[in-house]
Amino acid sequence: MSPDTTARAFWVETPGQGSIRTRPLATPGPDEVRVRACFSAISRGTETLVFHGRVPESEHARMRAPFQEGTFPAPVKYGYSSVGVVEEGPEALRGRYVFCLHPHQDHYIVPVSMVTPLPEALPPERAVLAANMETALNGLWDAAPRIGDRVAVIGAGVVGSLMAWLCRNIPGTRVELIDIDPSRHALAQALGIDFSTPSRARGECDLVIHASGSEGGLQQALSLAGQEATIIEMSWFGKQSITLPLGEAFHSRRLTLRASQVGTVSPSRAARRTHAERMAQALSLLEDDRLDALIDAETPFDALPETMARVTTESGTLCHRIRYTS
């Protein structure tokens, strides 16, 4: 088969082990596009759980990604952050860079409705952050920060940093990005956000956003929340059970602990925003060059089996970008 009729995709073969498979690629239909991938990104939090087989059985159906093949725990083709060029499809899209919620794959065919053209001012290299920005945007629709709020964001990963970056533009807000790794101060500085380690974090917050993926981080979120404040939980723990001190000031302070999940549009916007509109908004929010600081490494697609095994077991990774060549 020629390269024009095949596609190569990354699969989790067994928990902790992946490979690249080659499959035939069909011809696109009248309402489909053929995309040549240029970049994708590893969504470290979710893909760590998927790669190591830690998706709870109760969540197998809800955790399915668009265009996923196979089933959890494995074999499964997973991922949801792909940027490419439309090679076949409607005239208006041909030759344009688009974002698609697609697994790691070098060529693919999807419905026209599933790709979002990139804004002219957004480089395709940065557009791999779109799924993370969509999560951050949806989380802030859930959180509803207000003018003058004291906001703490725990966890200076990609989603936490994006949420803090968006909050900092609200007039009068005091936004503090908190992480156990003091080296994240440089990232916060590049994004124009105040930074603190947990021991120095300021309390009495109106809103606390937890995005560290750790039990200790969520425990601290409760301690930083002021009277009748809200804590938004952005982390997903998979099969991991955690312990929270709900017997301390949780009730007397009348705190609200609320989950946010990007699979559905926030109820505060669902009547007026579609998934496609939310994605277009997320892409437009990525036009600032400072956000390149969130992409800290890049490797070629052919190395993805080894890269995934390494990235999902090491700490301190932000957005790891995958580069494709044709």
Q: Model-level pTM?
A: 0.94
Residues 9 and 85 in one domain: yes
Residues 119 and 137 in one domain: no
In a domain, 173, yes or no: yes
Q: Token pair of 226, please?
A: 């002021």
Task: Centre a 10 Å sphere on the Cβ of residue 86 and count the other Cβ atoms it contains.
Answer: 22
**Amino acid letter for position 59:** E
Please tell me whether the peptide bond between 103 and the residue prior to it is cis, using omega within 30 degrees of 0.
no
Residues 87 and 119 in one domain: yes
Residues 244 and 145 in one domain: yes
pLDDT of the residue at 1: 40
Strand locations in the chain (E): 6-14, 17-24, 32-42, 69-70, 76-77, 82-88, 97-100, 107-111, 115-117, 150-154, 174-178, 194-196, 205-210, 225-233, 256-259, 295-300, 319-323
pLDDT of the residue at 326: 59
Q: Percentage of residues in the chain with pLDDT exceeding 90? A: 92
Q: pLDDT digits over 34-81, tens only?
A: 999 999 999 988 999 999 999 999 999 999 999 999 999 999 999 999
Residues 170 and 89 in one domain: no
Of the candidates 149, 145, 154, 126, the one whose C-alpha atom is nearest the C-alpha of residue 234 is 154
Angle, helices 130-143/275-284, rounded to nearest 10 degrees? 110
Residues 252 and 319 in one domain: no
In a domain, 204, yes or no: yes
* DSSP per-residue string spanning 108-155: EEEEGGGEEEPPTTS-TTTGGGHHHHHHHHHHHHHH---TT-EEEEE-
Residues 143 and 108 in one domain: no
Q: Token pair of 273, please?
A: 């925003």
In a domain, 223, yes or no: yes
Residues 47 and 93 in one domain: yes
> How many angstroms separate the first and last alpha carbons of the chain?
15
Which CATH number belongs to the domain containing residue 255 in this structure?
Answer: 3.40.50.720
Q: pLDDT digits over 95-149, tens only?
A: 999 999 999 999 999 999 999 999 999 999 999 999 999 999 999 999 999 999 9
* Final residue in a domain of this structure, among 259, 279, 304: 259
In a domain, 50, yes or no: yes
In a domain, 45, yes or no: yes
Residues 120 and 160 in one domain: no
Q: pLDDT digits over 270-299, tens only?
A: 999 999 999 999 999 999 999 999 999 999
* Final residue in a domain of this structure, among 217, 244, 259: 259
In a domain, 268, yes or no: no
Which CATH number belongs to the domain containing residue 30 in this structure?
Answer: 3.90.180.10
In a domain, 271, yes or no: no
Residues 100 and 171 in one domain: no
Interstrand relation of 174-178 and 194-196 (parallel, antiparallel or unpaired): parallel
Q: Where are the alpha helices (DSSP H) in 183-322?
A: 184-191, 215-224, 275-284, 304-311
pLDDT of the residue at 45: 87
Place 87 in a pLDDT band, splitting at 50, 70 and 90: very high
Question: How far is the CA of 62 from the CAs of 45, 86, 167, 263, 264, in angstroms?
Answer: 16, 29, 29, 8, 11
Residues 119 and 147 in one domain: no
In a domain, 250, yes or no: yes
pLDDT of the residue at 2: 44
The mean per-residue pLDDT over the stretch 152-177 comes to 97
Interstrand relation of 150-154 and 115-117 (parallel, antiparallel or unpaired): unpaired
Angle, helices 304-311/44-51, rounded to nearest 10 degrees? 100
Residues 24 and 141 in one domain: no
**How confident is the prediction for the chain on average, in pLDDT?**
95
pLDDT of the residue at 302: 98
Q: Domain residues for 295?
A: 3-126+291-323
Query: Which residue carries 């800290």 as its tokens?
Result: 296
Number of structural domains found in the chain: 2
